[in-house]
Structure 1
Amino acid sequence: MPHSLPQRGDGPPPPARIGNVAFLGYGRFGAALGSLLRDAGIGVRALDPGAEIQGAARAASLPELVGGVDLVLVAVPVPAMRDAITSLRPHLAPGQVVADVGSVKTVPARAMAEVLGGDRPWVATHPLFGPASLARGERPLRAVVCPNPAHPDAVRRVVALFEQIGCQVLEQAPEEHDRVMAFTHALAFFMAKGMMDAGVPAGAPYAPPSFQGIARTIETVRADAGHLFAALHRENPFAGEARRRLIDALVAIDRSLDVAAKDAAPEDAAALAIPDLGALSPELRETRELIDELDLELVGLLARRSELVQRAARAKATIGAAVRDPLREARLMESRRRCAAELGLDPAGVAEVFEVILRHSRSLQERRSP
């Protein structure tokens, strides 16, 4: 959500605007993101000996790259992240923010914490788009920004920057991000690579509609940078588990398919069953009606929560506290994830719901603060 302009009597003002950005690494993704930033009126400088830098000021050295900029974006492959951050460290001035844009978050976050620590502000981020999606004009753009209690103001500045270029920002801890990406992003690449190596004819004109989504996934993977596939799996600590679970499931299905129908055991039938959408039965209609009633109750609870949020905004204004409290939000999200797990729910899914609720609460407080 856009930050409202501070008024007399407000708490701390919105985070200082990032006016210029330096890219260490300017490959296909860096250049695409740099173009978005320039379109938003943000100055861009880049250093990448192996890239043809267009539309950005080319830096000849690290001191020239970082001199006077507000934010340094490290856009190198994840395995090279620590060395890149280490090389940057001696040239950073106090207050300059460093952020990565890698598809894996635990490795860069750990590297920045160990190399930059509390002396230089840093933020772990993952823009959930790439050159191909930008070229297709896909919207909305989304970006993950990891909470960092050691540098909350840096997080706020980076969130504001992503919002300035039109992104919906999701806050997610590095471990949670990587776990979700292992079962989504990494597995999509894994399946697409396997199908390509198996010779699946993705461009066959007679392919049925059921295959078109798979074909689009394969083409998206082919369009991404070559190093990304290996990094998604080798650097993500949860990718191995995701692959093993998928492979185990496929092996079980394959074995059941090799059993003749007349010899199939109940477990073979269960392995081959694909749940359909179900027919409209009285039970289904009743269940949907109960869901509708529950949804109305949820809306009522959200209204009650909004009243409490406005009450909190008035209390914050009285003591001059900021609307945003990243440390409390991080604790809240962790508490909701833990509660979801205890109740047998998907912690990541529940966290997404509360991320939306928190964004609404922040927007409401910013509008209602006197």
Structure 2
Amino acid sequence: MDRSGVAILGYGRFGSALADLVEEAGLPVRALDIRLTVPESRRVDDIPHLLADARFVFLATPLGAFEAALRSLRPHLQSSHIVIDVASVKEAPVAEMTRALGDEVPWVASHPLFGPSSIALGERPLRVVVCPNPLQAASTDAVRCLYETIGCEVMVQDASTHDRVMAQTHALAFFVAKGLLDMGTGDKQPFAPPSFQAMARTIEAVRSDAGHLFLTIQRDNGYSSEARRAFLEALGSAHHQIEAWGEKPAGDAGALDIPNLGGQAPESRAPGELLEECDRELIRLIARRAQIARRADRVGEVSGEAPRDPAGERALLDRRRSWAAQHDLEEEAVAQVFAAVLRSSDASLRG
């Protein structure tokens, strides 16, 4: 039997977003969830129908339900399937799939470094970490190819290194965000310097994309406790040094100094280099806008940007002119830029 489809067990926020990416890539997708509603075009009622014609089988369940989900699948899995997990930690799923599937059913551990919010915002590239299965090298290549087919950029890393990196980055970002939120610091402030605005964006990203994963990231990653402890010790040391600070020459902060950027500080860089950076960011924003426009078109929303609707386009360009005026920019020049962006979006939709 020719198996080319994708099966998804678990249709929560990530499972449904993954199904959208798969379908947009032109691959058949089926999904099963005993608690959540699955659209009729993707819904199946039991595991045998879920796995029929499927080559790739995603477990998009919470990590706490992973073992039970794998047990429910196991009697129906064959060597022609490839089981893929999408958890935020990797050592635990790898150990569980090794125990339950061994070398009889191909499996690959993966961690998509994006979520539904990233997709809705049109962010690209969508990055995925794939952890090789030492028992079946071919399955790793197949999963990498699948992720690339649905528009992802793939990085290959072993499970232990993945979890160590995530403890130092993912887990600490959530930990800091949790502390700031519990202090009330994450609430809207009447004003804030750029340094805090960047932290506020981190808090917003945590809340919008994966705030419900806090305990999973902290407790199920075996390296997170060590990372939190080291972080708290560093903060505690800085706190004690500040409290014990005596009379010292001005500017002699010693270990309390934060290293500056040196030659990479904006004021040290050539204006032409900064302009290049701005233009690259503009290109990324145009690409992101095109992604959102394609998504709006797919779900049947009225985007108001198609040249086929002259009245809607005129209204849209008028709003852009008003925004340009607020920034003392030439209104007609800005309108021409957006007219070109609209033509580009329209061409993308037709293509």
- Give the TM-score normalised by structure 2: 0.71
Structure-2 residue corresponding to 1:148: 133
Instruction: Give 1:99 deviation, angstroms.
Output: 0.6
Structure 2 residue matching 1:261: 3-state secondary structure: coil
Matched, 1:172 2:161: no
1:3 aligned residue: none
State the SS of the aligned residue for 1:51: coil
- Bigger relative contact order (CA 8 A; separation at least 6): 1
Q: In structure 1, which of residues 246, 251, 254 is the aligned counterpart of residue 231 of structure 2?
A: 246
Correspondences of 1:49-198 after superposition (within 5 Å)? 49-54=34-39, 56-198=41-183
Matching residue of 1:46: 31
Aligned equivalents of 1:179 and 1:129: distance in 2?
A: 18
Provide the aligned length of Structure 1 versus Structure 2: 264
CA distance in 2, matches of 1:60, 1:54: 12
Residue aligning to 1:34: 19
Paired residue for 2:214? 229
Unmatched 5+ stretches in structure 1: 1-16, 285-370
Residue type of the alignment partner of 1:156: D
Distance verdict in 2 for CA 1:279–1:112, change over 3 Å: closer
> Sequence identity of aligned pairs in percent?
49
- C-alpha deviation, 1:224, in angstroms: 2.9
1:253 is matched by which residue type in structure 2? A
Match status 1:270 vs 2:243: no
- Judging changes above 3 Å, is the alpha-carbon distance between structure 1 residues 241 and 56 closer, same or farther for their aligned structure 2 residues? farther
Deviations 1:53-112 (A, max 9, x none): 237521211222112211110011122212211111001123111010111010001100
- CA displacement, residues 270-304 of structure 1 (integer Å, 9 cap, x when unaligned): 33110112369xxx9xxxxxxxxxxxxxxxxxxxx
Q: SS of the counterpart of 2:26? A: coil
How far apart, in 1, do the equivalents of 2:263 and 2:19 lie? 50
In structure 2, the residue matched to 1:7 is none
Q: Give the secondary-structure state (helix, strand or coil) at the position aligned to 1:53.
A: coil
Greater CA drift, 152-161 or 174-183: 152-161
Distance 1:81 1:263, change over 3 A: same
Please show how residues 211-360 of structure 1 align to structure 2 within 5 Å.
211-262=196-247, 269-278=253-262
| Aligned AA (2:170) | H
Contact 2:74 2:101 in 1 (8 A): yes
Superposition deviation, residue 216 in structure 1: 0.9
Give yes or no for contact 2:8–2:30 (8 Å, CA) kept in 1: yes
Q: 1:226 to 1:213 in 2, by over 3 A?
A: closer
Query: Does the Cα contact within 8 Å between 1:21 and 1:69 map onto a contact in 2?
Result: yes
Q: Are residues 279 and 127 of structure 1, via their aligned partners in 2, closer, same or farther at CA, if it must alter by over 3 Å?
A: closer
How far apart are 1:50 and its partner, in Å? 2.0
Which whole-Å CA distance do the structure 1 matches of 2:229 and 2:162 have between them?
A: 19
Asked if 2 retains the 8 angstrom alpha-carbon contact of 1:104 and 1:235, the reply is yes
Per the alignment, do residues 137 and 48 of structure 1 end up closer, same or farther by CA in structure 2, a change over 3 Å counting? same
Q: Structure 2 CA distance, aligned partners of 1:18 and 1:158? A: 14
Q: Deviations over 1:182-226 (max 9, x none)?
A: 000111001001100011044224111111111111011111345
Deviation at 1:169, TM superposition (A): 0.7
State the match for 1:346 in structure 2.
Answer: none
- Could you tell me which amino acid in structure 2 is paired with residue 33 of structure 1? L
Greater shift, 132-141 or 57-66, is seen at 57-66
Instruction: Let me know the Cα RMSD of the aligned residues.
Output: 2.3
Evaluate the alpha carbon distance shift between residue 183 and residue 56 of structure 1 in structure 2; reply closer, same or farther with a 3 A threshold: farther
1:126 deviation in Å? 0.7
How high is the TM-score relative to the length of structure 1? Answer: 0.67
Contact 1:142 1:168 in 2 (8 A): yes
Secondary structure of the corresponding residue to residue 262 of structure 2: coil
- How far is the alpha carbon of 1:41 from its aligned partner? 0.5
Instruction: Provide the secondary structure at the position in 1 that maps to 2:185.
Output: coil
